[in-house]
Amino acid sequence: MGGRFAPTELPKKPPQGAPLIDFDDYYATLHSVLLAAVIADGYEPPYDALIVDEAQDHRTDWWEIYFSLLTGGKNSQMGIYYDPDQRPAFFSGEFSIAKVSESLPSKAHLQLRETRRYTRPIFEYLCSLQSEETDRLIGGLHSSYLLAGPEVMVKDAPNPDMARSAAAALLKEWFEAKLVTPEETLLLFPKDPFSDKYRMFEEGAYFANCQIIPADSPDAGKKGFLRATSFNKSKGLDARAVVLIGTSTWEDLTPDQRQPYWIAASRARQMLAILSC
């Protein structure tokens, strides 16, 4: 196989919004196919190093496949970045850094003990979102010094359309005042605004006088483009300014909605606004 996988051998991924059991079945089949590929006769590892961000999202049983992709196997250079408290509760299986690392011949473990991403108001807002679902997330925040910044803006609107209108008006103010640029801004919605099931924006649509694009678009980060995605897809992202749009208020969230809300709010570094409905 020469280290390559033939696309025809891979299972078809379920459409967005499909039941979680369909994704569990898909990843179980995908795991079996890839494992068979990397142990097949003639397979040649194609990569020299491994870098994994958001490693807690990767089940423990997948790592033998990852190690098999490396020319030096488990002796290859690796960087694994993770926060076990940010693994979504609906993910099946487990992530255990102990099990992942125990078979590695050499390793160094570094832990960040000080939170430096946020301004003080955002840090204090995140610490105020107390619930059973966020206790461990908040417990990981420690800071003896953070810079001052704008207060977190929390406003309620009568319905989702008015929440979007209020968000667009706010962004126009920010952009005209040059407090932030569109490419430094991230819009987050409870559901993916570009998905077929929850679509709010068509391709090429404009919002606050800026072209709005999916956060994983090739144009993300380019001047003048405004990124948007869902709470769940925002993990691993950050932005100078973040606006949560169309969410329930914190007090009205169901238990399964609290962790995604917290993670979405934690994407903001300097400016955070929540337009709830």
Of 36-40, 120-124, 206-210, the range with the lowest mean pLDDT is 36-40
- Say if residues 52 and 62 touch (Cβ distance below 8 Å): no
Task: Output the pLDDT for position 235.
Answer: 87
pLDDT digits (tens, 9 = 90+) for 255-266: 999 999 999 999
- Say if residues 213 and 227 touch (Cβ distance below 8 Å): yes
Structure-token pair, residue 46: 């194609």
pLDDT digits (tens, 9 = 90+) for 91-110: 888 999 999 999 899 999 98
| CA–CA gap between residue 16 and residue 164 (Å, rounded) | 23
pLDDT digits (tens, 9 = 90+) for 167-218: 999 999 999 999 999 999 999 999 999 998 889 998 889 999 999 999 999 9
At residue 139, φ and ψ (nearest 5 deg) are -60, -20
Using CA atoms of 205, 272, 221, 247 in order, give the dihedral in degrees to the nearest 10: -40
SS3 state of residue 51 = strand
Helix (H), strand (E) at residue 52: strand 49-52
Mean pLDDT calculated for residue range 6-17: 74
Task: Output the pLDDT for position 4.
Answer: 54
171 vs 87: which has the higher pLDDT: 171
| CA–CA gap between residue 47 and residue 67 (Å, rounded) | 10
pLDDT digits (tens, 9 = 90+) for 231-256: 999 988 999 999 999 999 999 999 99
- Provide the 8-state DSSP code for 157: -
**Total Cβ atoms within 10 A of residue 172:** 14
Structure-token pair, residue 183: 């490419």
Pairing mode of beta strands 206-207, 210-214: antiparallel
The answer to whether the pTM exceeds 0.85 is no
**Domain annotation for the chain: domains and CATH numbers:** 7-101 (no CATH), 120-276 (3.40.50.300)
27 vs 85: which has the higher pLDDT: 27
Residue type, 233: K
Task: Output the pLDDT for position 5.
Answer: 52
- Say if residues 137 and 87 touch (Cβ distance below 8 Å): no
Q: Which residue's entry shows tokens 């040649």?
A: 44
pLDDT tier, 2 (very low <50, low <70, confident <90, very high otherwise)? very low
